[in-house]
Amino acid sequence: MIKWTAVMLVIGFLLDLLIGDPRWLYHPVRIIGNSITFFEKWLRKCFPKTPSGEKMAGCVLVILICLESSLAPFVLLFLTFKIHTAVGIVLGSFFCYQMLATKSLKDESMRVYEKLEHGTIEEARGAVSMIVGRDTQNLNKEGVTKATVETVAENTSDGIIAPIFYMAVGGPVLMYLYKGINTMDSMVAYKNDKYLHFGWCAAKLDDIANFIPARISAFLMILAAFVCRLDWKNAWRIFKRDRYNHASPNSAQTEAVMAGALDVALAGNAYYFGKLYEKKTIGDAIRKIKPDDIILANRMLYVAATISVILFAVIRILLQLI
């Protein structure tokens, strides 16, 4: 499997750019999500409803989902490569394609842009609510735009460059394992009464899994800002200054680059489940953010993603030749 990783990575990335995430195709992340929901209900019944009990239940959830999201693709790939190398490459490429979100992230964020430019603010709020976790019902035009640019910046790492990194390191199996970890973080790692203890282990593991990819993503996005003729010098300055202006040690890495490249301020206070969370701002408001910044954010996304695929594929090939 590992021998053909670079080939599967390039094919999977090209499929993602061409096809994206069609709604008719059942996505494996939905399987992982359904498993998380099932195991959560079961584990909450089995463990005591105390902080330590919920934390222990959350740790068991992490073990179960990690086993599921790594063993299933391993077995399938092992069997298909036994049948024929070409069959294995086809399946591995398809797995890689399904774990990437380049086109879908662009399409969903551009749907928000279209609603901001040609629809109503209610339609724009509805569109952005599909790609962010915060409350969106009271966001104004600027707030909707900021939320969209922020999610493009964060998901450039989580949804694209981090999976590419793990694909290059350990093939589709490690890529799937990362996606399982990332899905748990998005579903149970909230800092509210329900998940503060239960989601502790998932949140910590996601922080560890994204530590290196988030920083690689930030540097690739600075390079992308240069290629796109954006303010890459300010991107570097804001990255150094504001990359830890977030509760997560990783999320602000790419958001800081994006804010600097666009010369805008991102982040700040936000509502989640009706509760206000006070957050530091990222970047300087050299100018006001506008809907066109969503287009620029996607341009950086595509350039950074393309560079990452070329870079990691070449490194993978060189390592195999040594």
The band of 272, judged by pLDDT with boundaries at 50, 70 and 90, is: confident
- The three state secondary structure string of the chain is CHHHHHHHHHHHHHHHHHHCCCCCCCCHHHHHHHHHHHHHHHHHHHCCCCHHHHHHHHHHHHHHHHHHHHHHHHHHHHHHHHHCHHHHHHHHHHHHHHHCCHHHHHHHHHHHHHHHHHCCHHHHHHHHCCCCCCCCCCCCHHHHHHHHHHHHHHHHHHHHHHHHHHHHHHHHHHHHHHHHHHHHHHHHCCCCCCCCCCCHHHHHHHHHHHHHHHHHHHHHHHHHHHHCCCCHHHHHHHHHHHCCCCCCCCHHHHHHHHHHHHCCCEECCEEECCEEECCCEECCCCCCCCCHHHHHHHHHHHHHHHHHHHHHHHHHHHHHHC
Name the band, by pLDDT with cuts 50, 70 and 90, for residue 125: very high
Q: What is the pLDDT of residue 1?
A: 72
Average pLDDT over residues 23-46: 88
| Number of domains within the chain | 1
Give me the domain span that covers residue 14: 2-321
**pLDDT tens profile 130-178:** 888 788 888 899 999 999 999 999 999 999 999 999 999 999 999 999 9
Rounded mean pLDDT, 287-313: 96
Q: How many residues are present in the chain?
A: 322
Residue 267: predicted pLDDT: 87
pLDDT beyond 90 at 11: yes
Q: Does the structure show a pLDDT above 80 at 322?
A: no
Residue 246, number of CB atoms within 10 A of its CB: 18
Evaluate if residue 67 carries a pLDDT over 80: yes
Reported confidence tier of residue 71, pLDDT bands at 50, 70, 90:
very high
Model confidence band, residue 223 (pLDDT cutoffs 50, 70, 90): very high
Q: Is the pLDDT of residue 249 over 80?
A: yes
Average pLDDT of the residues in 258-263: 97
pLDDT per residue over 183-200, tens digit each? Answer: 999 899 888 888 889 999
Amino acid at 221: M
Average pLDDT over residues 79-108: 94
